[in-house]
Amino acid sequence: MAKNTMTLTDNRTGKEFEYNIMSGTRGPDVVDIRSFYKDSGMFTYDPGYTSTASCESKITFIDGENSELRYRGYDIAELAGKHSYLDVCYLLMRGRLPNKEESKDFDLEIRHRSFVHEGLIRIFDAFPDHAHPMATLGAAVMALSTFYKEHLNLEDEDQFKEMRRRIVAKIPTIAAMAYRNSIGVPQIYPDVDRYFTENFLYMMRAYPGGKMKNLGGGINDEIRQVEVDALDAIFTLHADHEQNASTTTVRAVGSTEAHPYVSIASGIAALWGSAHGGANEKVMDQLKLIGDVKNVPTYIAKAKDRNDPFRLMGFGHRVYKNRDPRAESLKGLQDQLRKELNLDSKLLDVAAAVEEAALADDYFKDRGLYPNIDFYSGVILTALKIPVEMFTPIFVIGRTVGWITQWSELKQDPTAKIARPRQLYTGK
């Protein structure tokens, strides 16, 4: 029987190095090169980690070739819109879906943990009006670590659980506060009578004192169930995505023994970039820039031009070289919402024309560039009257559970080490 190893030969010396091949439950096998430097005195070179598995994980599985995404074994299509986002949080954190009673208890606990210390609310006063909510959200989450510093003992299972649930519960409150700060309206408190997602919409829209008036537009609209359901599904579709850039950042910072909420704040920073979660904001800017269906060919040509830095935002993905299954779910949601809400049809028409033109074009086909989650989420969030600068904070709300679950897995991994890659030095 063939040995479950791989032999690397240094052709300069003829020296051979043998490494074990590890197999996961699914996905490509992995060559265990942990002792490579000790054995050979050489490093491996993989900028951007395109061929590197940085950890072992039991949380999320992606098959990029076959457009598959699973949380704890469940296909994303079985979860989004079929189970509440909070049940999905429970699934990610506990490894199984809750039963009815557990689901109710968890929901209640999250509602009651949604309040933040008064001191944290005052932090927002220090920021200028119109500060981007991603900046103030990241800063406030960093500051949250100062409120829970003394009591953190990760050896204590209850405290460990509480630390995870607390951040999931508070993140929509902090995001809504970041938004209210950015438009200069007074802060309000969470409403425990409302479910997680409805409460977030309420905190985005309500007048001080919690009054809701159906005046149309702006922060004062009534909340419709169809909006809550759509946003809930969006949170689920963003909940985790294995070792993406922001999760890798959370794990790297966590590996230095930094505070968990400081690690989450670093994930927020990483997510903000336009190559990652910031793309949803850029998609909307781009659709508005294109402006009309007749302009689509010009912009497709720009995206294909190697001498033009213009990229089609919301297209392409490091892992999905076929369709992004999250985008597929969102497209279904978009079509449904188009019927139920009055979507901006001109923007939708431009989006549809961009999608159609790119999918038919060899440049995009040859490179496996398909619409990703950010392409559709922007249009849907616009339909939900979410302002563009809140698109990435909404991604943060959905992803926080993934980050904290990945952080916890790192903490429970006896083989985990401080993240410390090496380099190929070519300087003086």
Which residue in 272, 125, 108 sits closest to 192, CA to CA? Answer: 108
Interface mask toward ligand ACO for 345-384; x: CB under 6 A? ----------------------x-x--xxx----------
CB of 25 to ligand ACO, least distance (A): 24
Residue 129 a catalytic site member: no
Main-chain dihedrals φ then ψ at residue 69, nearest 5 degrees: -135, 125
The interface region with ligand ACO, picked from 57-65, 69-77, 308-316, 378-386 by CB under 6 A, is 308-316
Please give the Cα distance from 65 to 317 (Å, whole number): 11
The interface region with ligand ACO, picked from 8-16, 250-258, 274-282, 406-414 by CB under 6 A, is 274-282
3-class DSSP assignment, residue 62:
strand
Please give the Cα distance from 65 to 266 (Å, whole number): 30
Residue 156 a catalytic site member: no
Report the DSSP beta bridge partners of residue 364: none
Q: List, in sequence order, every beta strand (DSSP E) within 95-181.
A: none
**Residue 329 contacts residue 233 (beta carbons within 8 Å):** yes
**Residue 195 contacts residue 223 (beta carbons within 8 Å):** no
> Counting contacts by CB under 6 A, is residue 279 touching ligand ACO?
yes
How many residues bind to ligand ACO according to rule CB under 6 A? 18
CB of 176 to ligand ACO, least distance (A): 22
180, 317, 323, 399: residue in contact with ligand ACO (rule CB under 6 A): 317
CB of 151 to ligand ACO, least distance (A): 34
**Residue 12 contacts residue 28 (beta carbons within 8 Å):** no
Give the DSSP letter string of 90-105.
Answer: HHHHHSS---HHHHHH
Please give the Cα distance from 20 to 4 (Å, whole number): 6
Tokens of 237: 């579709």
Main-chain dihedrals φ then ψ at residue 68, nearest 5 degrees: -120, 135
140, 228, 312, 379: residue in contact with ligand ACO (rule CB under 6 A): 312
CB of 85 to ligand ACO, least distance (A): 17
Annotated catalytic residue, options 29, 317, 324, 349: 317
> Counting contacts by CB under 6 A, is residue 398 touching ligand ACO?
no
> Counting contacts by CB under 6 A, is residue 275 touching ligand ACO?
yes
CB of 366 to ligand ACO, least distance (A): 9
> Counting contacts by CB under 6 A, is residue 311 touching ligand ACO?
yes
Please report, as ranges, the residues that interact with ligand ACO according to CB under 6 A: 275-277, 279, 303, 311-318, 367, 369, 372-374
Q: Catalytic residue numbers? A: 317, 374
